[in-house]
Amino acid sequence: MKFSRRQLAKRDARGSMLFLCIAVLAVMLVVVGVVFSIYLVFFSHQHLQSRAEDLALECARQLNENDHGGKINNLIGHSRELVFTSRELYQRTGNDEFRGLQGLAAQVLEQSRSGAVLLCQERTQYVDVSLQKLRKIVKSAETNKVGSLFLSKFTSGGGEVFDLRVGDMGQPVSNVEASSGVYNLNSYDHQQNFVKPGKQAELLVSNVNLKLPGEDSDLDFRLASLPAPVKGATAPLRLTRGKGFKHSLVLLDSGQERTGICAVIPSAVQVTMTMSVKQSVVGEFDSKTRTVNTACANGAWTEP
């Protein structure tokens, strides 16, 4: 059976049209897969950003949970004042008028000094416990997720904590008010530049050893950098851009755990998280996204 030229031309046209439709459909599927893969890469970054923010806030919350840091600061301030006044009382018993009270004054002085040493040890223990909680939070935050879409295979790591640092926001002031009721101590603190003006009162500086004069200079009085309450309002737990952040200890460096000691209670944390993203359509595409977030602990509460 012979076909005319016209019939053969129609059959060729139909075959070409079918091939063209299949080719266009294949290209569209590939394009859709690529577009969705690119979208998922950006979505993964946003997801990583959100998880890093939550992790930074959770870590910062542990640093001053229930105002433990603020309370320890106030206890250290009161202990310092007690040691100073106890030393003054003991020195006054050196004259004949109060010599009979010298034994009692010596006992009070010794107890106040022992209390200061004990408080320093408790602060160190609190810092260690807080840092252990941070390490546990970080370990529980890392997961893996794998997914696929159309012609593309999409794989993303759930997020790895690449770097974790604790410290403060570089504000050298604490929530502890200067001892205005003890004139000699207040005068000494001003001479040593241990006092900074606050919004409502003069505050003792943070992150330095507020050494007392004379024989009590061996004691350690260090205050954490926590904002004082303003008109009864406490500074909230918050994220910050990280400008001015100063780390005092690195807990994780390039994914590796580090050890060290914090002399004072940290009041801020900086978290760096990374995520690897792989997707393939025709070839393979491998990228890594990264985000850095800094969070501050809540400020100190109003002292009762």
> Which two tokens mark 258?
């580090």
- Enumerate residues 6+ apart whose C-beta is below 8 A from 280: 152, 153
* Model confidence pLDDT, tens digit, residues 17-67: 666 677 777 677 666 666 666 666 677 778 788 889 999 999 999 999 999
Q: Which of 199, 209, 206, 217 is nearest to 176 (CA)?
A: 206
Res 267: pLDDT: 95
pLDDT tens sequence across 255-290: 899 988 888 999 999 999 988 776 665 556 667 788
For residues 80 and 176, give the distance between their C-alpha atoms in angstroms, rounded to a whole number: 11
Beta-carbon contacts of residue 126 (< 8 Å; ≥ 6 apart): 68, 69, 72, 265
Q: For residue 189, which of 303, 73, 81 has the smallest C-alpha distance?
A: 81
Higher pLDDT, 232 or 206: 206
* pLDDT the model gives residue 32: 62
Backbone angles phi, psi at 114, to 5 degrees: -65, -40
In the chain, the percentage of residues whose pLDDT exceeds 90 is 56
pLDDT tens, position by position, 96-151? 777 778 889 999 999 999 999 999 999 999 999 999 999 999 888 765 444 444 44
* Alpha carbon distances (Å) from 269 to 139, 249, 251, 294: 16, 10, 10, 6
Looking at residue 127, its pLDDT comes to 94
**Least confident span in 3-17, 124-138, 244-258:** 3-17
* pTM (two decimals): 0.81
- How far is it, in rounded angstroms, from Cα 167 to Cα 264? 9
Q: Which of 202, 224, 179 is nearest to 73 (CA)?
A: 224
Task: Label residue 294 exposed, middle or buried (CB < 10 Å: 0-12, 13-18, 19+).
Answer: buried
Whole-number mean pLDDT of the chain?
A: 84
Return the pLDDT at 120.
94
Please check the confidence at residue 76 and state whether its pLDDT lies above 90: yes
Q: Is the dihedral of CA 148, 149, 154, 160 positive or negative?
A: negative
Q: Where are the domains of the chain?
A: 5-296
78: part of which helix (H) or strand (E)? helix 68-92
The predicted pLDDT at position 36 comes to 61
